[in-house]
A and B are shown apart, each in its own frame.
Chain A
């Protein structure tokens, strides 16, 4: 049985999990893999709902990853009416060009690709977004629902700095424990090649466990 449209899935989630807010995000590529944006509060309930749904049985979470969307600044020229003083002292209203800058705050995103091993269909794509890239980088962990997210959420934490609340063992996984930055972020600047990278005292790879 094929999966219904993302709109239909959204409707069923909102009926099955009271209070859940789901937004369908369209995908412009020919793959047409549209995704569902979840709110943080109900994400885990929605995940369990999708896993245990009798017709869909999305029991297999294949891929978990982070995506970084840095702050963007868009500038546009707008015409503004202003009082302009002429040389003889008289004031008149004229149209003047003014550049207006709008700052769109960046965010981090976690993406989950779900399939069903029982019904052999998929993917259903879930997304969660943080409020910004600095302070509010917390997202609920879906590892309690799908164990396969365990290492992959650790990787998103390691390389993007997304903190997954409720993860049983959230540590760095590819970089060493004393490392401080998040290398997969778009604004990451690698240290210069001729300066040796040293871990702070007591955090060498041998020190944990």
Chain B
């Protein structure tokens, strides 16, 4: 790959172009997000995403607080997946300060992160189908399942969505035996839900007509544009941070990384379905092998942590892609530089490339298949 990959240039001379501003209050954007679309007839010839409506300078706020006080704030990034956001941040702090994590805490982290992945993917598929016109039913099926996971989060951490559960050096509270039994009771029921979902939708003619060959993302462009997560793997690139970095205890579990072939919306949809199945496998193994023991490293100072001057980049595979945190310490009690690598925002870089030449109705489902949460895009 030696050719440069820049955004496509369009010549508008002698063409009848209509400009449409989709958003910021368009139902398909699931938040406050706008696309400046130029159309020739119904065909998209230019598309520029515009965001920042939810910008609150998350990074600056975190730089003003102690290392500990940023953890509840990370919940609000991708507010559907607070557990994985916590993990990304505490992993970066652990790298920065050289903190070790007890084994039981690592297993609990895997369990809650995989439950998060499951409910995120279920919700995404529900929303995507809602965008396609399958009003209500798939989304309600997904939310019914998501509710069970959120109930578990509530009984573990006290909050359904803003969990604020992980700490550098472990997790905040131990999982009780009763809680683990509840998870053990739920996990065997999850594949049935995925089957139900798939039977409802696979080989559905409308679904295939709307999604196949739509919004194709070639693998070379996906790599060059830093696309990560299920979207990258739908284009056939085998890259999963869980397999590459083996953070936590992911090297102990057997699971496959599903790969797509065409990189279209259909593959991105199927990727979520297949990843839900792999998630169930990881959950089964983690629940089987979880050891007894402490869940916090006793030597870690939560309050008043002062890492040595230096920097660290820690990353995890969040449900949306590679979530990374870059921290610079100057030896004081709050981070000198705190930077989030938001997968949702970086995955939007090639939104225009995927939409060009398609109808404006397809823009909605292409955006839906990217899986963005505006809390993370705007920060």
A residues touching B (Cβ–Cβ < 8 Å)?
Answer: 27-31, 33, 51-52, 59-63, 65, 67, 111, 113, 117, 120, 123, 125, 143-152, 159, 168-169, 173-176, 183-184, 205-206, 209
In the complex, chain A residues whose CB is within 8 Å of the CB of B5: 147
- Check A173/B310 contact, CB under 8 A, given A60-B226, A168-B6, A183-B57: no
Contact call B324/A144, Cβ cutoff below 8 A: no
Contact call A59/B223, Cβ cutoff below 8 A: yes
A206 to B5, CA, bound (A): 29
Partner of B324, one of A30, A63, A117, A206: A63
In the complex, chain A residues whose CB is within 8 Å of the CB of B1: 51-52, 59
Contact call B350/A29, Cβ cutoff below 8 A: no
B residues touching A (Cβ–Cβ < 8 Å)?
Answer: 1-2, 4-7, 19, 21, 36, 48, 50-52, 55, 57, 59-60, 95-98, 221, 223-227, 237, 239, 244, 307-313, 315, 322, 324, 326, 328-329, 337, 339, 341, 345-346, 348-350, 378-379
Contact call A147/B221, Cβ cutoff below 8 A: yes
A148 to B227, CA, bound (A): 8
A31 to B326, CA, bound (A): 11
Chain B residue nearest to A113 in the complex (CB)? B313
In the complex, chain B residues whose CB is within 8 Å of the CB of A63: 313, 324, 326, 339, 341
B340 vs chain A, min Cβ distance (A): 9
Contact call A174/B339, Cβ cutoff below 8 A: no
Contact call A174/B226, Cβ cutoff below 8 A: no
- Check A31/B223 contact, CB under 8 A, given A63-B326, A120-B244: no
In the complex, chain A residues whose CB is within 8 Å of the CB of B339: 63, 65
Of the A-B pairs whose beta carbons lie under 8 Å apart in the complex, a sample of 29, sorted by A's number, is: A27-B310, A27-B311, A28-B309, A29-B95, A29-B307, A30-B95, A30-B97, A30-B310, A31-B95, A31-B310, A59-B223, A59-B224, A62-B226, A63-B313, A65-B326, A65-B339, A147-B221, A147-B224, A147-B225, A147-B349, A148-B346, A149-B226, A150-B225, A152-B346, A169-B7, A173-B52, A176-B52, A183-B60, A205-B50
Chain A residue nearest to B2 in the complex (CB)? A52
Contact call B311/A29, Cβ cutoff below 8 A: yes
Partner of B57, one of A61, A67, A184, A206: A184
A144 to B225, CA, bound (A): 11
In the complex, chain B residues whose CB is within 8 Å of the CB of A65: 326, 337, 339
A205 to B310, CA, bound (A): 39
In the complex, chain B residues whose CB is within 8 Å of the CB of A31: 95-96, 310-313
